[in-house]
Amino acid sequence: MGKYVVNTRTNGEFQFNLKADNGQTILSSEGYSSKASCMNGIESVKKNSPDDARYEKNTSKNGKYYFNLKATNGQIIGSSEMYESTSGRDNGIESVKKNGPTATTEDQTA
């Protein structure tokens, strides 16, 4: 089972990463000004990650592939790493769909 890892950025903002069973980060959040907002972001991933319609598939300027997970209001909840192929990106989406709803949360903030 995957896990959400909550940590503090160097600028003091809170962020979470969703990690797969193998420890690889499959989704990273934006920076949040409060821990409560960050935790709400995790709840939003749990709620939205099973829904195919919430994934936006993109290609970066350097030709790599990534995706964003969006909330019902269209706001980006999290973004993936860069993938070399569309199949890699699609596997990343499947991993978020599998791990997102049931992942545990590990708080690494001080």
How confident is the model over 2-58, as pLDDT tens digits? 999 999 999 999 999 999 989 999 999 999 999 999 999 999 999 999 999 999 999
- 64-97 burial code (b ≥16 CB/10 A, e <16): ebbbbbbeeeeeebbbbbebeeeeebeebbebbb
CA 23 – CA 11 distance, rounded (Å): 25
Strand order, beta sheet including 104-107: 55-59, 65-70, 76-79, 25-29, 14-19, 3-8, 104-107
Confidence label for 1 from pLDDT (cuts 50, 70 and 90) = confident
Can you list the domains of the chain with their CATH numbers?
Answer: 3-107 (2.30.29.80)
